[in-house]
Amino acid sequence: MRHRFLRSAPLIAALGVASTWLALAAPAPAPQPFGPLPTPRQLQWHAMEFYGFLHFTVNTFTDKEWGYGDESPTLFNPTDFDADQIVRVAKEAGMKGLILTAKHHDGFCLWPSKFTEHSVKNSPWKGGKGDVVREVSDACQRHGIRFGVYLSPWDRNHKDYGRPEYLTYYRNQLRELLTQYGELFTVWFDGANGGDGFYGGAREKRQIDNTTFYDWPNTWNIVRELQPMASMFSDAGPDFRWVGNERGIAGDPCWATLDMTQPGRHPGGSSNGLTSGERPGTAWIPAECDVSIRPGWFYHASEDAKVKTPAQLLDIYYQSVGRGACLNLNLPPDRRGRIHDLDIAALRGFRQVLDATFAKDLTEGAQATASNTRGSAKDYAPANLIDQQRASFWTTDDSVHSAEVTLQLKDSKAFNVISLREHLPLGQRIEAFAVDQWAGGQWVECAQGTSIGNRRLVRLSASVTTDRVRLRITRASAPPAVAEFALHVEPR
Ligand code: FUL
């Protein structure tokens, strides 16, 4: 309103030159947001892009993926546990945070919970005085990465699992984790549920109705109250969703929104539609791609030869982060309580290529021009696409939904990776885009795609050499708002 007021011509005339200057400098109003929008906590999560999982429990010592719940706590005895080593490895790989399985389906707690004896306090490790959650959260803080927890809803050890009393137990444990280990960036609620287990000695099958048993809305309220900036994961949100597979691969397209009125959706769950999301949707619930660096989530010596190669990890990165999702890559600590050398070597190879690729943006020093720019050219100028600032963006007048930006590069450059980002606070607006190169006196298309969202990486099969590139927004539901158009070289 204030801007419109300053723009009113008779008033400006009456106020004289100084006000005219003010009117010219006043920013043009931003476009209206479109569709469901991310919250500040989700924006923080998006900005992380790449973080890790740590699967560690009695399974590490029994060589299992799912413990039955009858494992003795004495089995948990890492010989050389080193949280600093684990966190350093994750940080050097470029991870911005780590999520620890504080309790997996077997029910064994990696912290000395007051509410059970089935924990590290009855393990020989550190004479029962150890606390893995404490050590990993402290190490994350020391090394400047974020920390989050996984607390399995399904508990094959607890006698009350399947009964209302279990919910009290689960929430008590959640409160311990939410209050004793500093600021959490996420609480990760696994969707695997019910079946046979130890259950306090009953050794039986217990089925639950996962649409009602956990009363998720009230459990989520506890997280909101105690850790308001923690983003919560479950199959269908509330803050970010499962991508529908454990291979680390997002759909193409991968929309950041879901339609929560679809049949089969319920708090904490969903049966379909998670891989690509839905557009325009009713809620901002972007995808996380979770995958292990090895076939299993827990360490098994038998999988030492099956650690994913740097090339496989890169493929995953481009198909997760590069499709607007976050990548949650699992690193399983071994029986020493450290990340194995083979995993470290793979991560190093992967990181080296990413660093070499993204260290330099070839659009530096380019001249950007647009077919349309909203309001004063300065506020929403196409130059904002190449200023390396996430907060600034190029956008168009309200009536313009398809538009293009041309970059005249400083000189001829060869590139094979294109990076695009939308300005997320205004919602996911773009539905299709294309990129052209200037070749032999004409524009030649070199890439096209659909969803952009937090990030779209286009990996070209062959490198393109040109001094002029063009981004065309070919379909959008609102004036496009683009924060980044960058060009990189992946060494191959
Ligand atoms: C699944 C679990 O059953 C696996 O053990 C693992 O924790 C994976 C991340 O989620 O649902």
What CATH number does the domain containing 428 carry?
A: 2.60.120.260
What's the CA gap between 433 and 429, in Å, rounded?
Answer: 11
187 shares a domain with 125: yes
* DSSP letter (8 states) at residue 221: H
For CA atoms 249, 253, 257, 258, the dihedral sign is negative
User: 180: helix, coil or strand?
Assistant: helix
Q: Using CA positions, which residue lies closest to atom 10 of ligand 1?
A: 190
Same domain (yes/no): 177, 316: yes
Contact 54, 86 (CB under 8 A): yes
Does any domain span residue 69? Answer: yes
Q: Tokens in use for 284? A: 């901002």
Q: Specify the CATH number for the domain of residue 298.
A: 3.20.20.80
Rounded Cα distance between 403 and 394, Å, is 11
**Residue 355 alpha carbon to ligand 1 centre in Å:** 30
Helix (H, G, I), strand (E, B) or coil at 319: helix
Other Cβ atoms closer than 10 A to 148: 29
Residue 7 resides in a domain: no
Question: Of 483, 457, 244, 321, whose CA–CA distance to 387 is shortest?
Answer: 483
User: Residue of the nearest CA to atom 3 in ligand 1?
Assistant: 192
- Burial of 32 per CB tally in 10 Å (0-12, 13-18, 19+): exposed
Token pair belonging to 414: 């060869």
Look up tokens 């298309």; give the residue.
445
Q: Which residues line ligand 1 (CB under 6 A)?
A: 65, 190-192, 290, 297
At 128 the pLDDT is: 98
Q: How far is the CA of 291 from the centre of ligand 1 (A)?
A: 10
Q: What is the pLDDT at residue 14?
A: 36
Same domain, 293 and 236: yes
Domain C-terminal end among 316, 338, 358: 358
Cα-to-centroid distance, 190 and ligand 1 (Å):
7
Residues 54, 166: one domain?
A: yes
Q: Which atom of ligand 1 is nearest to the CA of 53?
A: 9
Query: Within 10 A of 217 (CB to CB), how many other CB atoms are there?
Result: 10
Distance of CA 308 from the midpoint of ligand 1 (Å): 18
β pairing state of 241-242 and 287-292: parallel
Are residues 148 and 129 both part of a single domain?
A: yes
Ligand 1 atom nearest residue 290's Cα:
9
Name which of 267, 264, 185, 183 is nearest 218 in CA terms. 267
Distance 200 CA to ligand 1 centre (A): 22
Ligand 1 atom index nearest CA of 298: 5
Q: What's the half-sphere exposure (Cβ side, CA atoms, 13 Å) at 278?
A: 15
In the numeric block, the tokens 């945070």 are attached to: 97
- Structure tokens, 57: 């429990």
Report the C-alpha gap between 158 and 57 in whole angstroms: 16
- Looking at the 3D structure of the chain, how many domains does it have? 2
- The answer to whether residue 241 sits within a structural domain is yes
Q: Which of the listed residues 297, 327, 328, 330 should we mutate to test ligand 1's pocket, taking the one with most ligand atoms within 8 A of CB?
A: 297
What whole-number distance in Å separates Cα of residue 227 and Cα of residue 360?
A: 37
**Nearest atom (ligand 1) to Cα of 66:** 5
pLDDT of residue 215: 96
C-alpha of residue 270 to centroid of ligand 1, in Å: 16
Please give the pLDDT value at position 271.
74
Instruction: Write out the chain's pLDDT in tens, 492 residues.
Output: 223 323 333 333 333 333 333 444 556 789 999 999 999 999 999 999 999 999 999 999 999 999 999 999 999 999 999 999 999 999 999 999 999 999 999 999 999 999 999 999 999 999 999 999 999 999 999 999 999 999 999 999 999 999 999 999 999 999 999 999 999 999 999 998 879 999 999 999 999 998 999 999 999 999 999 999 999 999 999 999 999 999 999 999 999 999 999 988 988 888 789 999 999 999 999 999 999 999 999 999 999 999 999 999 999 999 999 999 999 999 999 999 999 999 999 999 999 999 999 999 999 999 999 999 998 668 999 999 999 999 999 999 999 999 999 999 999 999 999 999 999 999 999 999 999 999 999 999 999 999 999 999 999 999 999 999 999 999 999 999 999 999 999 999
**pLDDT score, position 27:** 66
- Name the pTM for this structure: 0.94
Contact 130, 119 (CB under 8 A): no
| Separation of alpha carbons 102 and 189, rounded Å | 11
Atom of ligand 1 nearest to the CA of 55: 7
CA–centroid distance, 8 to ligand 1, in Å, is 60
Give every CB contact of residue 443 below 8 A, 6+ residues apart in sequence.
436, 437, 470
Asked if 232 contacts 187 with a C-beta cutoff of 8 angstroms, the reply is yes
Structural domain span for residue 394: 367-488
Nearest CA to ligand 1 atom 2: 192
350 shares its domain with 377? no
Residue 378: the pLDDT is 80
Is omega for the bond preceding 38 within 30 degrees of 0, making it cis?
Answer: no
Say how many Å lie between the CA of residue 222 and the centre of ligand 1: 23
Cα–Cα distance for residue pair 187/103, rounded to 1 Å: 12
Checking phi first, is residue 420 left (phi over 0); if not, alpha (psi -120 to 50) or beta? Answer: beta
Task: Note whether 225 and 323 are same-domain residues.
Answer: yes
For residue 71, what are the β-bridge partners? none
390 with 49: CB under 8 angstroms?
no
Q: What is the pLDDT of residue 411?
A: 96
Q: Which of 52, 95, 55, 42 is nearest to 298 (CA)?
A: 55
Q: 159 and 292, same structural domain?
A: yes
CA dihedral 315, 317, 322, 324 (to 10 degrees): 140
Residue 131 and residue 181 in one domain: yes
Which residues lie closer than 8 Å to 461 by C-beta, 6 or more apart?
none
Compute CA 65 distance to the chain's CA centroid, rounded to the nearest angstrom. 24
